[in-house]
Amino acid sequence: MASSENIFNNLSSNFSQLSYGRTKGDISQINRILDEINGLDYRYPLVTNKTRAVLLVNQCCSLIPHDESDLVSKCCRLITNLVVHQRIEIEGQTLSLVAQWCLLAIKHTPSTNAEILGVLKALLTCNEKNSLHLLSLIICSDSPVLSVACGSYLETALTAVQCLEACTYCDELRTANIKSELELASTIFLKYLTQEPKVDSILYNKVVFDFNQGVVHYRKSVHFTLIVQ
């Protein structure tokens, strides 16, 4: 019987040989391999070659279109398992690719926003150095993460806010030239905190709490003063 490590390696190799042509056969193959990879138990060590795992993530985000909700969901599950449970560090060009893919997927497949935001949160919290790299992508005037954070669906809003908060964890933010991004985020935070509550629930209170934490972290990170009119 093949070990889980060998199964992961074989499935990763099989995935690298796929191409996506939007035919039922292509989708079926991708679905099948993703189902088998995601069916492994990531609570235990599976990855013996971290470079292969990073390549798999790169291939997933290159191959899987951001408007195929089922494939997007399965891809997100795989990336989250690799980053959170297998401690795979996604950096450099692959990190940029994953982030851009996630942002496009948020816009085109809103039904999978919870899983997509989970990927971004994992990237930010499992390696704080990613905060500086991802900040300008996540916090900008047309960022879908900001839109979700201020949206009416509290479950996904909470994860979006946690992504924004996680952008403040890196010590290098103290010397980075990111004042415009931080001011934008702070404006969003304060606007949310000062608006009239729409609901009274534990979840809403958690969203407000994390928004407040975001303001505090931003102020500590870059030492600039927020002026509340």
Q: Are residues 118 and 137 in the same domain?
A: no
Q: Are residues 6 and 118 in the same domain?
A: yes
pLDDT for 153? 84
Q: Are residues 6 and 106 in the same domain?
A: yes
How distant, in Å, are the alpha carbons of 16, 114, 226 from that of 119? 21, 9, 30
- In order along its 229 residues, the chain shows pLDDT tens digits of 468 889 899 889 888 887 655 555 678 888 999 999 999 999 999 999 999 999 999 999 998 988 999 999 999 999 999 999 999 999 999 999 999 999 999 999 999 999 999 999 999 988 877 777 788 788 777 889 988 987 878 889 889 888 887 877 666 655 555 666 666 666 766 666 666 666 666 666 777 667 666 656 666 655 543 433 3
The full length of the chain comes to: 229
**For tokens 């980075």, what's the residue?**
176
Asked whether the beta carbons of 144 and 101 are under 8 A apart, the reply is no
Asked whether the beta carbons of 53 and 88 are under 8 A apart, the reply is yes
Q: How far apart are CA 5 and CA 16, in angstroms?
A: 17
| Single residue among 127, 157, 185 that ends a domain in this structure | 127
Does residue 91 sit in helix, strand or coil?
coil
Q: How far apart are CA 148 and CA 117, in angstroms?
A: 10
Asked whether the beta carbons of 75 and 37 are under 8 A apart, the reply is no
Which residue, among 77, 79, 74, has the nearest Cα to 27 in the 3D structure?
74
Q: Are residues 114 and 136 in the same domain?
A: no
Q: How far apart are CA 149 and CA 35, in angstroms?
A: 30
Other CB atoms within 10 A of residue 173 CB? 21
Q: Are residues 6 and 108 in the same domain?
A: yes
pLDDT for 228? 38
**Residue 13, domain extent:** 1-127
Kindly report the pTM of this predicted structure: 0.83
